[in-house]
Amino acid sequence: MKALAKMKPAPGLELIETDIPQPGPNDLLVKVQAAAICGTDAHIYAWDAWSQSRIKPPLIVGHELGGEVVAVGKMVGGFKKGDFISAESHIPCGYCYQCRNDQQHICGNLKILGVDTPGCFAEYAVIPVVCAWKNDKSMSPEIAAVQEPLGNAVYTTLCEDVSGLNVVVFGCGPAGLFATGVANAAGAGQIIHVVKHEFRSAISKKMGSTKLIKYDDPKLVDKIKEATNGVGADVILEMTGNPGAINQGIEVLRKGGRFTAFGLTADTEIKINLNALVFKGCRIICINGRQMFRTWYQMAGLLNSGRLNPAPVITHKFKLEEFQKAFETMKAKDRKSAKILLIP
């Protein structure tokens, strides 16, 4: 089969020809119909400090997919040949403290598909059955492939109620665009989206934002205060990891509001105004992954209702062989793309 792999400890990926993997007793073998490129894959492609410390070549990368089950392991129940699935990328051990306390998504021995185990940028992928999610057959492979990152947005946005509340989303990458759509589907009041790139502003409107503010607008804080009658935002969804955005989020959060941290900072140590958070008596909720499988059920409900449509965020599709073009499009300075798919 064809696959996209990190073959040596250096930047880039290679298109390789390799054997179709065999599923273990608790695995599914899946024919990948669509895969999506994540920020994580871009880090691995660039071979940054994080990937150098985590990735052990040779490794097939990719963790966001939709595909058809073509073989099931001996011990597998609940799935059969012909099922149409997506995958939760967090592979739990099943026996640690978190796994045994309803927190498999932050398992103490967590492995990630396409990071610690062979991934899905390939014609076939092995998916542990504990990570498999059965889709309705009416769903397109494209939508199926983006459910993993969409799930991040569902968990971030809906870890507490947003209905009727004023929500500010920081970041116009796929995570921020998806979060805007989820807030809209869940009946948020105003959805103020702080954006950087023109191309993505148009997608934000389609996802349901009610007000757009440029990230470098000197009146950003005033505009959000004004839009919320001087009270500030009920909910901050921080999807950038940018220290400037994080501190603006803290500033515009109302007293007693919710600050939700999803974006990862480039430097692990940054300066934040902790006193402001303490005096505001706010709640800080940190999001890693998706709750297994509560988030997935919630996401299915929103998708089935027709109120959540992630399609506008999917801007490009490339064949697996065109992966270089795909990564270049993703990294282009003007960011005239959002979610990019690879089709094996």
Q: State in angstroms the smallest separation of the CB of 317 from Zn ion.
A: 17
Number of C-alpha atoms within 13 angstroms, CB side, residue 82? 0
Q: Which is nearer to Zn ion, 99 or 239 (CB)?
A: 99
Q: Does the annotation count 63 as an active-site position?
A: no
Could you please report the per-residue DSSP string of 264-303? Answer: PPSSS-----HHHHHHTT-EEEE--S--TTHHHHHHHHHH
338 binds Zn ion (CB under 5 A): no
Q: State in angstroms the smallest separation of the CB of 38 from Zn ion.
A: 3
Cβ–Cβ contacts within 10 Å for residue 208, how many? 18
Q: State in angstroms the smallest separation of the CB of 99 from Zn ion.
A: 3
Q: Which is nearer to Zn ion, 38 or 59 (CB)?
A: 38
Catalytic residue among 43, 117, 265, 316: 43
* Tokens of residue 325, six digits: 């073009």
CA distance 197 to 289: 25
Q: Does the annotation count 43 as an active-site position?
A: yes
Closest CA to 162 of 142, 191, 141, 205: 191
Q: Which is nearer to Zn ion, 3 or 99 (CB)?
A: 99
Q: State in angstroms the smallest separation of the CB of 36 from Zn ion.
A: 7
Which member of 20, 70, 96, 285 binds Zn ion (CB under 5 A)? Answer: 96
Q: From residue 33, give the alpha-carbon distance in Å to each of 163, 312, 322.
A: 35, 19, 16
CA distance 61 to 326: 14
Q: State in angstroms the smallest separation of the CB of 64 from Zn ion.
A: 5
Residues of this chain, 272-301, that bind Zn ion according to CB under 5 A = none
Q: Which is nearer to Zn ion, 106 or 343 (CB)?
A: 106
38 binds Zn ion (CB under 5 A): yes
Catalytic residue among 40, 157, 180, 295: 40
The footprint of Zn ion on this chain (CB under 5 A) covers a number of residues equal to 7
Window of 87-95, 177-185, 275-283, 300-308 that interacts with Zn ion by CB under 5 A: 87-95
Residues of this chain, 101-120, that bind Zn ion according to CB under 5 A = 107, 109
Q: Which is nearer to Zn ion, 107 or 213 (CB)?
A: 107
Q: State in angstroms the smallest separation of the CB of 108 from Zn ion.
A: 5
Cβ–Cβ contacts within 10 Å for residue 100, how many? 12
Q: Which is nearer to Zn ion, 92 or 263 (CB)?
A: 92
Window of 92-100, 112-120, 124-132, 290-298 that interacts with Zn ion by CB under 5 A: 92-100
Closest CA to 157 of 64, 232, 256, 261: 261
Which member of 1, 15, 93, 221 binds Zn ion (CB under 5 A)? Answer: 93
CA distance 182 to 176: 10
Q: State in angstroms the smallest separation of the CB of 174 from Zn ion.
A: 9
147, 86 contact by CB (below 8 A): yes
- Sorted by sequence, the CB contacts under 8 Å of residue 4 that are 6+ apart come out as 13, 14, 15, 16, 60, 61, 62, 121, 122, 320, 323, 342
Q: From residue 240, give the alpha-carbon distance in Å to each of 39, 150, 174, 179, 319.
A: 12, 15, 10, 12, 29
* Tokens of residue 18, six digits: 């390799």
Q: Which is nearer to Zn ion, 43 or 225 (CB)?
A: 43
CA distance 277 to 292: 30
87 binds Zn ion (CB under 5 A): no
Binding stretches for Zn ion (CB under 5 A): 38, 92-93, 96, 99, 107, 109
The set of catalytic residues is 40, 43
